[in-house]
Amino acid sequence: MGKAILITGASRGIGAATARLAAARGYAVCVNFRENRAAADGIVAGIVTAGGRAIAVQADVSREADILAMFARVDAELGRLAALVNNTGVNDLQSRLESITAARLDRILATNVKGPFLCAREAVKRMSLRHGGEGGGIVNVSSAAARLGSPGEYVDYAASKGALETMTIGLAKEVAEEGIRVNAVRPGHIYTDIHATGGEPGRVDRVKALVPMKRGGQPEEVAAAILWLLSPEASYVTGTILDVTGGR
Ligand code: NAP
């Protein structure tokens, strides 16, 4: 059935661009979404029209049962899992730390940290030579926020990405002899809906003067970095965190 890729949060933004590029590179794609089925179905339809294979799978990555059911569908409908992109990441309204609630922290850490850990666990079980698999690649989508800290906006989100980067480094070493490479990309300011979720739809244009290249990035520019890290061209690259930030 060919090689499958599971991309979390692929109904829009960076995940959707990654799904389209992965399909063009020959992967059968699992387009995961949480609530916007129409958008996910639209990404799948575009891939199928272009001659590729894809399925849309609803799963909230903060829920273990949803993750297990999603991987089971990939096994049954797409075949051998060759790649995982832990792309889903959520923020919340811009806020100082002293206004952050426990409920907000629970949601951000469950989605941005626990979810990628559990997805990586399921991927390693399927890919690792140690478990009879054929190897594979994992790319975690971090953020320049892990370096910058996002003061006054979302230190919680930034810290969740710091955790994801540490997982990238540790897991890469843990499975390096088992045919699995684990890397991360660290996008800067990219034109997607996530900024509206943070309460400022025009954020990229406000901050782009801080970027040495003086512009925001496009989701396709992040997708290209992700697909390179998964490709044989990156065969000696693991545990690396690749900035896609226009120099910021
Ligand atoms: P986005 O436009 O807000 O899209 C988020 C995607 O995640 C949607 O497909 C959404 O599905 C899905 N999603 C949300 N909660 C989910 C959950 N609990 N379970 C499964 N899927 C869920 O985001 P984006 O800007 O493309 O961001 C993608 C990644 O890049 C994130 O990890 C983000 O932190 C990172 N990043 C983005 C930027 C940027 O400037 N855009 C910068 C640095 C890092 P529904 O549509 O169904 O809700």
Atom 16 of ligand 1 has which residue's CA nearest to it? 34
The CATH number linked to 153 is 3.40.50.720
**Strand order of the sheet with strand 81-86?**
53-58, 28-33, 4-7, 81-86, 136-141, 180-187, 241-244
pLDDT in tens, 164-179: 999 999 999 999 999 9
Ligand 1 first shell, C-beta below 6 A: 8-15, 32-36, 39, 60-62, 87-90, 111, 141, 143, 187, 189-190, 192-194, 197
β-bridge mates for residue 139, sequence order: 85, 183
- pTM, rounded to two decimals: 0.98
Q: Which tens digits make up the pLDDT trace of 124-174?
A: 999 999 999 999 999 999 999 999 999 999 999 999 999 999 999 999 999
Residues 6+ apart with CB under 8 A from 49: none
- Catalytic option among 27, 157, 191, 236: 157
Distance CA 81, CA 103 (A): 34
Give the residue, by CA position, lying nearest to ligand 1 atom 31: 89
157 assigned to active site: yes
Q: Of all residues in the chain, what percent are helix, strand and coil, respectively (each to 5)?
A: 50, 15, 35
* Ligand 1 pocket test, candidate residues 18, 90, 156, most atoms within 8 A of CB: 90
Please state the φ and ψ torsions of residue 60, each to the nearest 5 degrees: -90, 115
Domain residues for 215? 3-244
- pLDDT confidence band for 2 (50 / 70 / 90): confident
Q: How far is CA 47 from the centre of its chain?
A: 19
pLDDT of residue 109: 98
By most ligand atoms within 8 Å of CB, the mutation choice from 21, 33, 70, 211 for ligand 1 is: 33
Number of domains in the chain: 1
> pLDDT digits over 174-221, tens only?
999 999 999 999 999 999 999 999 999 999 999 999 999 999 999 999
Give the distance (Å) from ligand 1 centre to CA of residue 11: 9
Q: Which atom of ligand 1 is nearest to the CA of 12?
A: 9
